[in-house]
A and B are shown apart, each in its own frame.
Chain A
């Protein structure tokens, strides 16, 4: 019997005024009983509209039926046919605009909590499995290199390793995981989960070499000389943008990347961390995406009394996941919408003393289809802050492009790659994820890594003949 409740089972969470003082995970995950109850809401639709909304086409009704039957490991096996990072995607996917948007239960009431069920299944599996028992596939004698250990690189490496390839991942930083470790904070995606995924890959035989900045330590051409037969570039979009307004180089102005890297990768939130972070009291975060929400919520947790999101469009256009916006609001983050900074003011000792903004109104739609923000004349005002975090976007780092002959890129830096296969302008070189699309999502990066692994397999096999 289907559960006809119009509402999703609520996600148990830490109370807002407790969690905004700690870095523990906000959402606690369904219990078995909640998962069973939620799974019973799925109608097992024949035409599976939800699947069409998932970029990697997880067989959603099939896995949910297994959950409903209490066969959690079986459910996991179904998910993992399509997705290699379910514990991650179940947490950070923008479900409301993907699978859940298409769910028929959403027509009248709330859609099935697909992401929450996916998370439950993945967590259940992780708790009951041991990566060291993973069976290593028989080696097929070919070697492939993967640049970058974000979701695209990890997925590509995993898929190739499962086919028997000898895969080495080269990561620039001292830890693998890409944005999953340096960007997305612990309270949204515990680092132990990412580590578990990396451990599973290692158990599959994938070698992970950290401290390897490709383009500096080794070039793509040298990777081929070393005997790698195909290369995947999943180097992300890590180069932060600034607004180029006066005062941006004052002390206390961070790019979101720097702020989040200090907090997450370098653990500045822990007492005794070797990496410093400003002890800010009033913080303005410029931008409206997931990155801005994460920075704002980290600032709050580090002890800032007042944290304000400054965004130039309206609530409707906020690109962040709905859930993150709601969580941020509950935690006391303030929102100044239709507002744009024009200058950062100097306060005491060269630190930030305030931020001058103008009010905006929405005019005609621009190329992106969103209404273009227009400055309201004479609306200037100042917010009193001692720290400003710029979260207005990132673009791909030019390091690999500039050291790889014949690798074509877009004007803004994105690597040009075939949409289906990830093939670049260089034979044997594939690319995917943010390095190709610009800042996007975990699931899209993962999908791109998967598609490229398939194409690389075909390429290496065809070359062998």
Chain B
């Protein structure tokens, strides 16, 4: 079970893997996620279902190497097996009835946004995608987005590819140029989602964001993933991960995401050391 059938580096820090997981593939819908453990002593980490193939029984994950667990995951090769892979978890993104949508992705968030864009496109909606990266070498999924979108804007912070600037400026431009949307779907770093939501609030434009707080079980058992949405406490793993971007308390979410910073930094360094030794 859970064999890695394919591994591909999308950019220096983002990797795609196709995992054999027939039961997950059978049920998965865009917007849902899985929780995996790399090995017997591993941490449980959530990753979005970036794609799935029900016939082949595979699930694609795309992850950014940010810490110990994603580092360890990236050291596995095709043919290796993961110790655990559970899902699909969370509520699927609502796409019914949407006719025209702006999909905004930032960095590795594009991997989460892509299956939704694809689904919307397949069901006949007009999709305008705006994807943003820090620089040219970090761009991922450009062709995939191009195929799933009626309009595609690529933004880089430094202007080394596409247009220079943030995703919010491209979105603003489209709106100002007269485009109207049933909904904006924004997925990326918390700050990005916060600012997209702030922008669309001005236009009264409904905005859905995908939240990624720290999780453990992913079944509603620990409450560690809780957020404040519209003044109420919600568990992202069972009530989300999609929420109304105008209702989410982003500042609190950003605080909570930094809970284990020191521990994470130390673990990441230890893991890198370990792999360096193995290589020698």
Contacts and interface: CB of A to CB of B under 8 A. Distances in A.
Contact of A276 (B88, B219, B260): B260
A254 B43 contact: no
B41 A174 contact: no
Interface of A: 172-174, 182, 210-213, 216-218, 238-240, 242, 244, 248-252, 254-255, 257-258, 261-262, 266-267, 272-276, 278, 350, 397-399
Given A244-B233, A255-B222, A261-B221, A216 B259 contact: no
B223 A240 contact: yes
17 contacts: A174-B37, A210-B84, A216-B87, A217-B23, A218-B23, A240-B221, A240-B222, A242-B233, A248-B233, A251-B255, A254-B223, A257-B222, A274-B68, A274-B267, A276-B260, A276-B264, A399-B238
Dominant SS among interface residues on chain B: mixed
Interface string B203-247: 000000000000011011111101110000100001000000000
A202 B259 CA distance: 40
Nearest to A174: B84
A270 to B, nearest CB: 9
Interface residues of B, number: 39
A257 B42 CA distance: 19
B23 A174 contact: no
Contact of B223 (A217, A251, A258, A278): A258
A398 B69 CA distance: 30
Contacts of A258: 216, 222-224
Contacts of A262: 216
Interface in B57-72: 68-69
B86 A397 contact: no
B220 A399 contact: yes
Contact of B219 (A172, A250, A254): A172
B278 interface: no
Given A174-B86, A213-B89, A350-B255, A274 B223 contact: no
A273 B84 contact: no
B136 interface: no
Given A218-B23, A238-B221, A254-B224, A249 B41 contact: no
Given A174-B86, A211-B86, A249-B228, A266 B44 contact: yes
Interface in B71-106: 83-89
A270 B93 CA distance: 38
B256 interface: yes
B252 interface: yes
B252 A249 contact: yes
A249 B256 contact: yes
Nearest to B32: A216
B217 A261 contact: yes
Nearest to A274: B43
Contacts of A252: 259
A278 B42 CA distance: 18
Nearest to B89: A216
Contacts of A251: 255-256, 258-259
Contacts of B222: 240, 255, 257-258, 261
Given A244-B233, A261-B216, A266 B43 contact: yes
A217 B255 CA distance: 32
A345 to B, nearest CB: 15
